[in-house]
Amino acid sequence: MRTTASFLRLLVFFIAALIIIEWVYPGDEWAMLTQPILWAIVSGLMLFAIAFEICVAALESILFRTLTPEQQESYNSKRALKEENRFKWFRDTYKKALGSKAIEEEHDIILDHNYDGIKELDNDLPPWWVWGFYATILFAVVYLVRFEVLNDYNQDEEYEIAVAEAAIEIAEWKKTAKDLVDVNTVVLLTEASDLKAGQTIFNTNCVACHKADGGGGIGPNLTDRNWILGGGIKNVFNTISEGGRDGKGMISWKSELKPSEMAQVASYVLSFQGTTPAEPKEAEGDIWVDPEAPEDTKIDTKIDTETKEIKTEETIEIIQDSTAMNVILSN
C-alpha cells in the first residue's frame, strides 16, 4: 500500500506536469510533440520526485525503528485503520450510485414467480440511470425552448459563422505563408527589407534589358507612367510571372522566382515611378490609371476615354481646371 501511494503521487505529479506544460505552451499541436526537450525536463523532474519519495520512505522506516515495541504496535494499528478508511467515500458513493441491495436483503425484493428455477429481483433503477434520465428531460426542455420557441440560431446560421471564422483563420495563415501570394492577392510591399530584396533580384535578372535605373533598353522604360501591359502591383506582378507579349523578349519568371520574390521585385519596379533615369527610353503604351484609386485621381481616366487624346500631365491639368470652372459657373 505504501508503494501504491507513492506510485499514485508520482503519477499525479507526472500528469500535472504535462497539463502545466500544455497550458504554458498553448497551440494547435501538443507542445510535448513539437519540443522534445520538454521530455528531458519532465524526466529530470520525475527523477527528483522519485528520489524524494525514496527519501521520505527511508526516513519513515528509520523513525519507525526508533520507537519502542508498544509504540510500534499502536502506530501500526492506527495505520491499518487509516488504510481501511482510505477511499471509503469513493467506495460508498459508488455503491450508492448502483443502488443495489446487499445480498442478505435480497429476500425483500424477490418476485414470487419462478422460471425453471430462475427468479427475478425487483431492483430499483440505479440512481445514476435515473438522474441521467432526468438530465435528458431537462436538456430537451431547454433545447425546445431555445431553438423552437425563441429561435436562437439555426443550422444555416451556424454554418455561416463557421465559414466566417474559417475565413479569418485562413487570412491569418496566409500572412505567415508569404509564397501563397498570387496575382489576386498581391499587394505593394513597402518594407525596406522587401524592396532591398527586390533590388537584388532586379539587379541579378532584369538589368540586362531594363537597366539598373529602370530607364529601359531592350525592355521598356519602367520609370514613366506609361505601361504596355498595365501598371499597378497586380499587372506588374502578372507581367513578371507570365511574361510579356509573345516574341517581345520578356519571359515568364514564375519558374525562376518564388511568388514572394516576384512580389518583391514587382514592388521594387514600382518604386522607379517618377524617378528620372540617365537615358530614358521613350514612353511606350498608355498612361495607366488605377481603377481602384479614389475618385479625385480617377478623373484622369474619364478624361482619357472621352478625349481619346495623348494624356500628358498638362492636358489633364487643363481639363481639370476647366471642369473646376464649369462647377463654379454652374453654381
Stretch that binds ligand HEC, among 180-188, 248-256, 274-282, 322-330 (CB under 6 A): 248-256
- Footprint of ligand HEC on residues 150-179 (CB under 6 A)? none
- Footprint of ligand HEC on residues 275-294 (CB under 6 A)? 285
CA 31 to CA 22: how far, in whole Å?
6
Binding of residue 232 to ligand HEC (CB under 6 A): no
Residue 202 neighbours by CB distance under 10 Å: 22
Structure-block grid coordinates of residue 164: 466566417
Interface pick for ligand HEC out of 245, 322, 323, 326 (rule CB under 6 A): 245
Residue 115, class by beta-carbon neighbours within 10 Å (0-12 exposed, 13-18 middle, 19+ buried)? exposed
Cα 59 to Cα 20, 53, 56, 64, distances in angstroms: 30, 10, 5, 8
Q: Which is nearer to ligand HEC, 226 or 301 (CB)?
A: 226
Interface pick for ligand HEC out of 114, 132, 249, 273 (rule CB under 6 A): 249
Stretch that binds ligand HEC, among 84-92, 153-161, 169-177, 221-229 (CB under 6 A): 221-229
Q: Which is nearer to ligand HEC, 38 or 228 (CB)?
A: 228
Please measure the distance between the N-terminal and C-terminal CA atoms of the chain and give it in whole angstroms. 100
Cα 247 to Cα 5, 42, 230, 251, 283, distances in angstroms: 83, 65, 18, 9, 20
Q: Please tell me the count of residues contacting ligand HEC according to CB under 6 A.
A: 25
Cβ 215 to ligand HEC shortest distance, Å = 13
Q: Judge contact between 119 and 113, C-beta under 8 A.
A: yes
Interface pick for ligand HEC out of 78, 248, 258, 302 (rule CB under 6 A): 248
The pattern of x and - marking residues 191 through 220 that bind ligand HEC according to CB under 6 A reads: -----------x--xx-xxx-------xxx
Q: Which is nearer to ligand HEC, 186 or 269 (CB)?
A: 269
Residue 105, class by beta-carbon neighbours within 10 Å (0-12 exposed, 13-18 middle, 19+ buried)? exposed
Interface pick for ligand HEC out of 263, 265, 283, 287 (rule CB under 6 A): 265
Cβ 287 to ligand HEC shortest distance, Å = 11
Interface pick for ligand HEC out of 229, 233, 289, 303 (rule CB under 6 A): 229
- Only one residue has cell 478508511, namely 85
**Residue 121, strand partner residues:** 110
- Specify the long-range contacts of residues 195-198, CB closer than 8 Å, at least 24 apart: 195/264, 195/267, 195/268, 195/271, 197/261, 197/264, 198/261, 198/264, 198/265, 198/266, 198/267, 198/268, 198/269, 198/271
- Footprint of ligand HEC on residues 50-109 (CB under 6 A)? none
Cβ 214 to ligand HEC shortest distance, Å = 9
Q: Judge contact between 322 and 329, C-beta under 8 A.
A: no
Cβ 248 to ligand HEC shortest distance, Å = 4
Binding residues (CB under 6 A) for ligand HEC: these are: 202, 205-206, 208-210, 218-220, 222, 227-229, 236, 239-240, 244-245, 248-250, 253, 265, 269, 285
